[in-house]
Amino acid sequence: GAVVSQHPSRVICKSGTSVKIECRSLDFQATTMFWYRQFPKKSLMLMATSNEGSKATYEQGVEKDKFLINHASLTLSTLTVTSAHPEDSSFYICSARGSGGLDGYTFGSGTRLTVV
Amino acid sequence: QKEVEQNSGPLSVPEGAIASLNCTYSDRGSQSFFWYRQYSGKSPELIMFIYSNGDKEDGRFTAQLNKASQYVSLLIRDSQPSDSATYLCAVLIQGAQKLVFGQGTRLTINP
């Protein structure tokens, strides 16, 4: 149980375009989803927390207009990187939590974004 | 002071030995503690979580929690080369939904 699917696994896009990353909970209802960013050899940096049906809560320093998060259903959250630039290149990882306890913090497989 | 601190390593351990990974946290009200393993280029995978003082064992892994000292550790017995990875300690801060991660310890098991 507690499987989180993230797509795409890799994406290369041109500078100035937008990229959408999907995070789905496959076998549970994710009341809360988290979006992280990770630079090489660094730890996870929480970008935002999204609860189904409400606006995401962004961490300090994260541009909400640049990183659009939508959590429209209990199984799907999306992160859209708008007007991407090379400095947005990173490893983006989602995590989902259901209502069922401490083992519900499950990570997706991550998305490697490269902006050229 | 960082909320969750780990020695970044690298920690080098011979195959078959016990690897000991340590983590301290600053919020005394923290309730739940997680250990994740992350291979290079992959997302973290949960090894185990602990919320009671003492030891919790799962196969070759043992998590140890000491809330008085605000310290949590992970022991890996009979270390294998496949255990070589970065190990992330995470703490669920009291009253929050989110996990706070340490910077991770890079572990290398030498054959």
The whole-number pLDDT of residue A29 equals 85
In contact, B110 and B12? CB cutoff 8 Å: yes
- Chain B's closest residue to A10, CA to CA, is B41
- Reported as a pLDDT band with limits 50, 70 and 90, residue B18 is very high
CB burial string B2-28: b at 16+ within 10 A, e below: eebbbeeeebebeeeeebebbbbbebe
Which residues, in sequence order, are CB contacts of A43 under 8 Å at separation 6+? B88, B101, B102, B103, B104
- The verdict on B101 touching A (C-beta cutoff 8 Å) is yes
In contact, A42 and A59? CB cutoff 8 Å: no
pLDDT at residue B94 is higher than 80:
no
pLDDT tens across A37-93, in order? 999 888 899 999 998 888 899 999 999 999 999 988 889 999 999 999 999 999 999
The whole-number pLDDT of residue A99 equals 66
- The verdict on B44 touching A (C-beta cutoff 8 Å) is yes
Mean pLDDT over B5-18 rounds to 93
pLDDT at residue A98 is higher than 90:
no
> Does the distance separating the beta carbons of A44 and B88 come in below 8 Å?
yes
Q: Which residues of B touch A44 (CB under 8 A)?
A: 44, 88, 101
Distance from CA of A109 to the nearest CA of B (A): 5
Length of chain A: 116
The whole-number pLDDT of residue B96 equals 72
pLDDT at residue A102 is higher than 60:
no
pLDDT tens across B24-79, in order? 999 888 889 999 999 999 999 999 999 899 999 999 999 999 999 999 999 999 99
Q: Which residues of A touch B36 (CB under 8 A)?
A: 107
> Does the distance separating the beta carbons of B32 and A109 come in below 8 Å?
no
The whole-number pLDDT of residue A101 equals 59
Q: Which residues of B touch A42 (CB under 8 A)?
A: 103
Distance from CA of B54 to the nearest CA of A (A): 18
